[in-house]
């Protein structure tokens, strides 16, 4: 089934997924990073200090996700979605209204956990377990919400910050997005009972819900590919978070970085549409090893030329790999884990990805503060991609969990 026929056959579940990937944006680094100058000025902290706060709450989110994420296997998907949206809106409001650093940290934690973590979890897990036959293409369509948001929201966010200040702009974006998720999500899937609670085999009392996922994720094959599957969260998050420092050191305007996200978004779409049919034809495990290759090439080009034209090229390469990674990360787990345990398995792998995304910003910040040039940081990132790719190429295929 091609993309058009799939969309025509199941428009509501796919639209529901796109809504959630789009609505994850308030908790994603590329939006949070735009508020960093206002936050550090309001709370009299350094950018490196906020990076440490950001990393700490991201780590906390990573530990929370396996606990809360597995509940999606036993909970009505619409109820899970509304609760996640409410938490995201509350986090955005708390961060915007915070009078001190303590409440700021609480707001960022709720925003990151619900936005980056749970919104994406609802979209990708719900889609992967509902579409068994055309899973790759369905995940690719749902993942379009990520680049749509990346293409439209950065410049809009900068305009709102300029017009209203960071606090009002932040609250408006987060609370409005949460309201749209609850309202539109309800309209889309209220009658979709099968999608909301898929008819999957019951979990035995003597087999904990995460047992199969643990047995798969701890196998040597999966352990060897985790660095690759976490490559875009680790490296791309760090580079985007510190885009202001990259702009300052290279002499390239920060507005050019923000505008170049349109290339990132367009390339993500290309990556989504390329990888979806390939997964359905060859399997996610087969095509996974080389999906970060475009990103590695883009990093090398930016490191060598260090010019304004290289920014959209590097972000385009990052978007191409990120688009493929968004789909592959869920599809590769679904190939080895029973669907009634997919939420538990995916939340565990996603927790690892979130944990690595927390390590990236402070590590890159430390390198830059210590005097490393942008070229050194880019070459180090490129080296990570090469090593992770080599490990994945030689990783043995895991055994399926039953």
| Displacement of CA 366 from its chain's centroid (Å) | 23
Q: How many domains does the chain have?
A: 1
Retrieve residue 198's tokens: 């898929």
- CA dist., res. 9 & res. 168, Å (int): 41
At 86 the three-state DSSP class reads helix
How many degrees, rounded to 5, is the angle at CA 202 between CA 201 and CA 205? 140
* Residue 121 within a domain: yes
Angle formed by the axes of helices 342-369 and 47-69, nearest 10°:
170
* Residue 402 within a domain: no
Q: Report phi then psi at 248, rounded to 5.
A: -65, -45
Residue-level pLDDT at 155: 84
- CA dist., res. 356 & res. 112, Å (int): 14
* Residue 399 within a domain: no
* Residue 260 within a domain: yes
- CA dist., res. 200 & res. 56, Å (int): 36
For residue 400, give the DSSP letter: P
Q: Is 101 exposed, middle or buried (0-12, 13-18, 19+ CB in 10 A)?
A: middle
Q: Which helix (H) or strand (E) segment is 4 a member of?
A: helix 3-9
- CA dist., res. 301 & res. 375, Å (int): 10
* Residue 301 within a domain: yes
Cβ 382 vs Cβ 86: under 8 Å: no
User: What CA–CA distances, in Å, run from 164 to 92, 157, 169, 253, 258?
Assistant: 15, 10, 6, 22, 19
Residue-level pLDDT at 1: 61
Domain of 89, in residue numbers? 10-393
Half-sphere exposure in the Cβ direction for 49 (13 Å, CA): 11
- CA dist., res. 248 & res. 119, Å (int): 33
At 187 the three-state DSSP class reads helix
* Residue 1 within a domain: no
Taking the CB of residue 19, how many other CB atoms lie within 10 A of it? 24
Q: Is 359 exposed, middle or buried (0-12, 13-18, 19+ CB in 10 A)?
A: middle
Angle formed by the axes of helices 120-130 and 11-23, nearest 10°:
160
The per-type count for the chain, helices as H runs and strands as E runs, is 24, 0
Cβ 330 vs Cβ 357: under 8 Å: no
Residue-level pLDDT at 206: 40
Residue-level pLDDT at 207: 42
CATH code at 80?
1.20.1250.20
Measuring CA to CA, which residue among 123, 178, 179, 188 is closest to residue 327? 123
Retrieve residue 49's tokens: 């200090």
Which string of DSSP letters, residue by residue, matches 129-149? Answer: HH-STTHHHHHHHHTTHHHHH
- CA dist., res. 137 & res. 120, Å (int): 17
Taking the CB of residue 133, how many other CB atoms lie within 10 A of it? 10
Tens of pLDDT along the chain (402 residues) come to: 678 889 898 999 999 999 999 999 999 988 998 899 899 999 988 877 887 888 889 889 988 998 999 899 889 999 999 999 999 999 999 999 999 999 999 999 999 999 989 999 999 999 988 888 888 899 999 988 988 888 789 889 999 999 999 999 999 999 999 999 999 999 999 988 888 875 455 444 444 444 445 556 677 788 899 999 999 889 988 888 788 788 888 888 888 887 887 888 889 889 988 898 899 889 989 999 989 999 999 999 999 988 899 999 999 999 999 889 988 988 888 888 877 788 888 888 888 888 887 788 778 888 887 888 888 999 999 999 999 999 999 998 877 655
């Amino acid at each position: 089934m091609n993309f058009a026929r799939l969309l025509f056959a199941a428009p509501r579940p796919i639209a529901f997924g796109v809504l959630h990937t789009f609505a994850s944006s308030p908790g994603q680094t590329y939006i949070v990073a735009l508020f960093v100058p206002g936050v550090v000025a309001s709370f009299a902290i350094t950018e490196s200090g906020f990076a440490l706060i950001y990393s700490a709450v991201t780590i906390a989110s990573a530990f929370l996700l396996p606990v809360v994420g597995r509940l999606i296997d036993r909970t009505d998907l619409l109820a899970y979605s509304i609760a996640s949206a409410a938490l995201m809106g509350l986090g955005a409001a708390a961060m915007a209204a915070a009078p001190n650093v303590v409440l700021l940290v609480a707001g960022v934690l709720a925003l990151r956990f619900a936005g980056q973590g749970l919104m994406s979890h609802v979209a990708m897990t719900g889609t992967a377990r509902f579409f068994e036959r055309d899973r790759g293409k369905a995940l690719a369509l749902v993942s379009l919400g990520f680049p749509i948001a990346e293409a439209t929201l950065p410049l809009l966010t900068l305009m709102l910050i300029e017009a209203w200040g960071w606090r009002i702009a932040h609250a408006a974006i987060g609370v409005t997005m949460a309201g749209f998720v609850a309202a539109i999500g309800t309209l889309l899937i209220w009658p979709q009972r099968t999608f909301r609670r898929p008819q999957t085999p019951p979990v035995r009392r003597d087999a904990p819900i995460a047992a199969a996922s643990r047995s798969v994720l701890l196998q040597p094959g999966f352990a060897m590919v985790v660095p690759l599957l976490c490559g875009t969260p680790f490296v791309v998050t760090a580079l985007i978070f510190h885009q202001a420092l990259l702009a300052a050191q290279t002499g390239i305007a920060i507005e050019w970085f923000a505008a170049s996200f349109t290339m990132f978004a367009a390339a993500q779409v290309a990556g989504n549409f390329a990888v979806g049919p390939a997964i359905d034809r060859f399997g996610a495990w087969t095509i996974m090893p080389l999906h970060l290759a475009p990103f590695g090439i883009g990093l090398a080009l930016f490191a060598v030329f260090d010019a304004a034209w290289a920014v959209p090229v590097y972000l385009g390469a990052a978007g191409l790999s990120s688009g493929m990674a968004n789909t592959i990360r869920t599809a590769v787990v679904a190939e080895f884990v029973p669907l009634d345990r997919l939420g538990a398995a995916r939340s565990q792998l996603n927790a690892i990805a979130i944990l690595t995304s927390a390590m990236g910003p402070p590590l890159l910040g430390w390198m830059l503060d210590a005097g490393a040039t942008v070229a050194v940081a880019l070459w180090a990132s490129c080296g990570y991609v090469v090593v992770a790719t080599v490990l994945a190429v030689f990783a043995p295929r895991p055994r399926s969990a039953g």
